[in-house]
Amino acid sequence: MFGKTSLLILIGFMTAFSIYHIRLTRAVISATDSFSYYYSKTLVHETAVSAMNIGVSRLWKDATLVGSSFNVIMNNCTALVRIHTVIPDSVVRLSVRAWGYAFVDTYYAKYKKPYKIEDSSFAYFVYSSGPVTPASKYFWFTGTEFYQGAPVYWIDGDTVWGPVHTNGVLHTYGSPVFYDKVTAYSGINPQPTSNRNKAKFYGGWEVGIYAEIPVDMTRTKTAAINGGGVFNQSVYLKFLPNGKVVKRNITGWETQNIGTGQYSRTRQVPILSPPDTVANVSALSGTGVIWVRGEVVVEGTLNGQLTILADGNIRIWDDLKYADDPNVNPNSDDFLGLVSYRNVIIADSDPNQNDVIIQAAIMAWDGGANDRNFIAENWNKRPPSGAIYLTGGICQEERGPVGQFAGGSGIIQNGFSKRYRYDPRFRDKAPPYYPLVNYRGIRQLQLISWWE
């Protein structure tokens, strides 16, 4: 009796374990099938997206591809890219169909073939033969990194966020820090591959890239005219955090002698006509653009959006910042553009002797024979003045110096060091009617919509 009972118990355990083993095997197969399916699905999706980007790149380089199709093979998957005409010589549609295969055990057992996975995407793009890109999209652009024939250096203590480009040679001394990519048409000195170059290129670097940026101000001037924002003499503007601005006319300039010993120098101080005029920033121009047919002195805290175009110099007299700091709130809607046909100057004013904060897109560019700069007044005569904390972007024909350092130590002897940060909002937005970059002979391709 005992023997039969033991045998029955043993058979019961064997049956239970067999059922468990079968279920476990099925679970393993199911898990393997799921992994294979989702892994292959991810590869197919990545192939579709990559093929779309390849298609856009090829179309940008060669517009004759409109109406054609080609295959892209990657990740053991295949993608068919088709380029369709929507509006001749204007709008095009790119469509992608990608497919690959996954080994799904249950599917294979039934159909004797791998499981086919498909994905697709499409996008609409528009061609433009004219300028469409605001110059503020660039953080740093110079035609040359020389000033009056002498190189200007990025040095110890200089910290830069945002893309940097020059059509000349970029010069470094010590260990400046670049957090985004640095490109230079004529090279980087010392060469980044040499032991002599101690700069930190955290975003990488590349040489041999040329970008031509001639700027047409017609669009900006027209906006100022249409908005009633044309001023026929030099003006002083002080922005207030409540959205208002103090405006006074500049009747002349006084030359003042300041400093002693090695820091003895002269500076230009505006002579202002009374009284103050206080108005909303929006009242300066209905389009958000003013055109000053003279020079501008500016300071304060801007609450609003404004582009200032000046025929003469623009002088930054004190901190110039936004009421809603984009470094704290990336969704800030305050924007300021400073565009000068001459120079944008950090004045040698009393407030600018110990640091200066600037938040704006800056341009000193006339496209003519005279080089224009973003520069510090008395950069080689004033005492060490702290740092320039700039958030925005700078575009200038010739690199303007803001300070001078000792060659042996790299320590600032005159003027400012730099703490430059790109305003990432400028990748997609710009101050009102900011001047547009024109790429000669290149049609630009802009994304309208994308689905995947």
- pLDDT reported for residue 3: 61
| The domain boundary residue, chosen from 87, 111, 128 | 128
| The domain boundary residue, chosen from 128, 147, 165 | 128
162 close to 395: Cβ distance less than 8 angstroms: no
What is the pLDDT confidence band of residue 31, given thresholds at 50, 70 and 90? low
What is the pLDDT confidence band of residue 187, given thresholds at 50, 70 and 90? very high
Say yes or no: 238 and 110 in one domain.
Answer: no
Residue 447 lies in a domain: no
Say yes or no: 29 and 110 in one domain.
Answer: yes
Residue 92 lies in a domain: yes
Portion of the chain with pLDDT greater than 90, in percent = 54
Residue 451 lies in a domain: no
Q: CA of 344: how far to CAs of 194, 296, 365, 440, in Å? A: 35, 9, 10, 26
Task: Calculate mean pLDDT across residues 128-140.
Answer: 78
Residue 28 lies in a domain: yes
Say yes or no: 80 and 153 in one domain.
Answer: no
| The domain boundary residue, chosen from 84, 110, 128 | 128
Q: Domain containing 213: what range?
A: 133-442
User: What is the torsional sign of CA 287, 220, 160, 157?
Assistant: negative
Residue 449 lies in a domain: no
Angle at the Cα of 168 (from 163 to 171), degrees rounded to 5?
75
- pLDDT reported for residue 268: 96
Pick 402 or 131 by higher pLDDT: 402
Say yes or no: 65 and 184 in one domain.
Answer: no
In the sheet that holds 115-128, the strands lie side by side as 69-74, 77-87, 91-102, 115-128, 444-451
Say yes or no: 188 and 212 in one domain.
Answer: yes
Say yes or no: 170 and 246 in one domain.
Answer: yes
Residue 448 lies in a domain: no
Summarised one tens digit per residue, pLDDT across range 297-338 is 999 999 999 999 999 999 999 999 999 999 999 999 999 999
Say yes or no: 186 and 303 in one domain.
Answer: yes
Average predicted confidence (pLDDT) for the chain: 87
DSSP string over 368-389: SSS---EEETTTTTSPEEEEEE
Task: Calculate mean pLDDT across residues 109-115.
Answer: 82
Would the pLDDT of 106 be above 80? no
Say yes or no: 201 and 279 in one domain.
Answer: yes
Task: Calculate mean pLDDT across residues 163-171.
Answer: 91
Say yes or no: 124 and 140 in one domain.
Answer: no
Distance between CA atoms of 167 and 93, rounded to whole angstroms? 35
Would the pLDDT of 25 be above 60? no
Pick 68 or 306 by higher pLDDT: 306
What is the pLDDT confidence band of residue 130, given thresholds at 50, 70 and 90? low
Say yes or no: 121 and 167 in one domain.
Answer: no
- pLDDT reported for residue 14: 60
**Residue ranges of the alpha helices (H) in 260-362?**
none
CA 415 to chain centre: 27
Pick 290 or 147 by higher pLDDT: 290
Query: What is the tally of structural domains in the chain?
Result: 2
- pLDDT reported for residue 439: 63
Residue 392 lies in a domain: yes
Residue 137 lies in a domain: yes
Task: Calculate mean pLDDT across residues 117-121.
Answer: 90
Portion of the chain with pLDDT greater than 70, in percent = 88
- pLDDT reported for residue 302: 98
Say yes or no: 94 and 185 in one domain.
Answer: no
- pLDDT reported for residue 361: 97
Which stretch, 93-102, 177-186, 302-311, 415-424, has highest mean pLDDT?
Answer: 302-311
Say yes or no: 115 and 145 in one domain.
Answer: no
